[in-house]
Structure 1
Amino acid sequence: MPKLEITLKQHTPMIHFQHDQAGATLRATELKPKLDKFLIKYVFNDSKEKYKEYLINGTEKALNYKVKISSEGWRQGEIQKYEKEYDAYFGDLPGLTLCDSVTLCFFSYDKELLKNIEKILNPFFAVTNFGTRQNKGFGSFYPEGAEYEFEKDFKEFFKDRLLFEKHERTEEQCLIKINKNYNSMKSGLNGENSFLVEYSKTKNFSGEKKLTNMLSKGYVQNVPGNEKYLRAMLGLAENYSYDNGNTTVTIKSTRENDEKIDRFKSPITFKVINKTIYVIPEEIPEEMYDAEFEFKNGNKYMRLKTPSKNEFNLAEFLKSEEYGLVSLGYTKIGGDK
């Protein structure tokens, strides 16, 4: 059977649920669905007419190839080697694994499909991490030797897509900075307003924090029209709750059945390659704009909507010199969207 073989270099630890098993690394069950989705979008332009001949019989979006994964130089528990500052931000992180190299072997009777896979592997790994906390830079892999052409390849493939970079001394420092920077943007650090809140002031609306604090204390006022569920625009966890130490406010989508929004992955991916942090924004799904959520504390509740598309622009937010990535020391090196 025809095959395609590629070696990956691991740039940051992967948080792996099977970390206690020697050799635990990338899993085909995580890699293949992500790669299938990427192929369907970027090679076949989401047209079933174009990719249906490559499907496994009886499936909707599983392409007909297999992948075997092996690793060399596997080791566990790298957290012990990290700086104390790392522990302060991430705590005890069991499940960290690193490998010197990971080999992927793709098998398919369809040579054309293998050619398509080979063609998009670099851009696929450019925007994809693996394991837990993958959007925060963990589980970063990239084809060995190709990392030196990362920026060039990214710009050629993704054209006008935004790309930021920031250099650090070590991979560990990259992960520390990612955590700090993301929190500055979404939640705020050391009692300061988040960058999201500062951005919202320029759009004449405010975030949900004040109202959520009031609800957690057991009372609710009429919700002003300019209050928005702002934090949701940078990611929404399933069954999210807000805890002020005494009570818990649960937050759920008011939509029903298939339209209900249970989870929204952060639209910002942090990719670490050779001690450089790359920040890659993704398009926010239409259903996240102007979406209503219920905030509930016991029998008291309020409803807030997320900003509309006119009120929140992710690219504009990230490019801001006052409260975006530039203010955190990042440099915009590509794209505008």
Structure 2
Amino acid sequence: MQILKVTLKQHTPLIHFQYSEEGATLRASEVKPRLDKFLIARLRKRHSDWLSKWKKGETEALNYKLRIQTDEADKLRVKIPSSRNRDGKFEAQFPMVLANMDGKEREEDLKNFSCYKKVTLIFIAEDQALLDQIDTYIDSFLAVTNFGNRQSKGFGSFFRDGKRKSDFEKALFMFYDCVYCKTFSFDLRDYESVKKAFRSLDLAYKRIKSGVGREDSLLHIYGKEHGIEWEKEAIRNKLAGRDVPHKARYLRAILGTTNSVSLPEIHKIITIQSELNSNNGEEIVQRFRSPITFKFFDGTVYALPEDGVKDIMGKKFTFTLKEENSKTGLGSMDLTVPQIDFYNFLEEAFDNLGWTYKELK
């Protein structure tokens, strides 16, 4: 058997459900299927003759084993502080971390951080040529992939140890001609500095999607400039018994869908359901997560747009208004997701935020 070892540097905390256990870090059950999918997509184009040899039968898995190794001496004792809320449940609050919001009966059921200075991936295969391909593509895979909970928000960022920023950006070049980036300097060993960085990122993302305080959302501003009113205005009109604006669309779906919206100040809740497939009765859109992934390398965060936004455009969703804690309906309305130039919107949004436009060469 042949062995390839790749040592990774951890750049941001990994949100882990077993954070307190020894060796709780990246899981082979998450890394390998995603790496296999990434590799197969590339090998199919360049080494299709070898691919059948490297795959496990008719499956979409490659014929190697992956072990993940850590040294407890490298573990960083960075943890979200927990406390009890008014209901006596345990909470651990941190910017952009949603898993603990409702509280847990037991403190050990909270999700928390797993941080190591270094993590080693150990690949084991019979064919050295397969390991050579893994070694070739692993940097590109890691450059656009985060792991664990809330990965699109920058958590769980790793890259090969010993690499420079220029190496990371070279790996990004496989996918992007240009990106937006910003410096959020922090020390992974220092909880408060990590929290400050993610608070800043959280604020930037809220300015894009929902707005902050009386400051309007950059997405809403973009919509209005292009003759689109967003769903919030439609909801206000529906609750007030007024007609829904004919230009109203489910605009925020461009940056990810949700199943419901709570309006606690007026004791209302809004459920949001995609139109149904006529063949099986299931929702056409099961879930659409944010098409922007934030990737950290040292103190720089990169905003990486993902494909698939066009798939959500034009889809219809039903908004049903209800009394809070009741099944009583207060009416419903259908809104479609608008057609917009997604990349033009990102350009305007990140320019407004003062992020750096960077061409990758």
Give the counterpart letter for 1:249 in structure 2: I
Match of 1:129 among 139, 146, 150: 146
Answering whether residue 213 of structure 2 is matched by residue 190 of structure 1, we say yes
Q: 1:123-163 CA distances to partner (integer Å, 9 max, x unpaired)? A: 11111111111111111111001243345413542252x31
CA separation in 1, counterparts of 2:49 and 2:262? 49
**Partner SS for 2:235:** helix
1:77-226 equivalences in 2 (<5 Å): 77-80=78-81, 89=95, 94-160=111-177, 162-170=178-186, 172=194, 173-215=196-238, 217=239, 219=241, 221-222=243-244, 224=246, 226=247
CA separation in 2, counterparts of 1:186 and 1:283? 18
Distance change in 2, residues 1:234/1:45 (3 Å): farther
Match of 2:263 among 244, 249, 256: 244
Structure 1 partner of 2:70? 71
Gaps of 5+ in 1: 81-85
**Partner SS for 1:157:** coil
Q: 1:21-65 CA distances to partner (integer Å, 9 max, x unpaired)? A: 121000011111111121123332499777343221242x22222
Distance change in 2, residues 1:50/1:222 (3 Å): farther
Answer yes or no: is the 8 Å Cα contact 1:122–1:153 preserved in 2. Answer: no
Distance change in 2, residues 1:8/1:260 (3 Å): same
Number of positions where the alignment pairs a residue of Structure 1 with one of Structure 2: 320
Distance change in 2, residues 1:70/1:250 (3 Å): same
Answer yes or no: is the 8 Å Cα contact 1:251–1:296 preserved in 2. Answer: yes
C-alpha displacement at 1:230, in angstroms?
Answer: 0.9
CA separation in 2, counterparts of 1:264 and 1:229? 13
C-alpha displacement at 1:265, in angstroms?
Answer: 2.2
Identity between Structure 1 and Structure 2 (%): 35
CA separation in 1, counterparts of 2:142 and 2:221? 33
Computed over aligned residues only, the root mean square deviation of the Cα atoms, in angstroms, reads 2.7
Higher alpha-carbon Rg: 2
**Partner SS for 2:140:** helix
Structure 2 partner of 1:83? none
**Partner SS for 2:23:** coil
CA separation in 2, counterparts of 1:35 and 1:319? 30
C-alpha displacement at 1:205, in angstroms?
Answer: 1.1
C-alpha displacement at 1:79, in angstroms?
Answer: 2.8
Structure 1 partner of 2:249? 228
Answer yes or no: is the 8 Å Cα contact 2:256–2:290 preserved in 1. Answer: yes
TM-score by length of 2: 0.81
C-alpha displacement at 1:264, in angstroms?
Answer: 1.3
Answer yes or no: is the 8 Å Cα contact 1:128–1:140 preserved in 2. Answer: yes
Distance change in 2, residues 1:247/1:25 (3 Å): same
TM-score by length of 1: 0.86
C-alpha displacement at 1:187, in angstroms?
Answer: 0.8
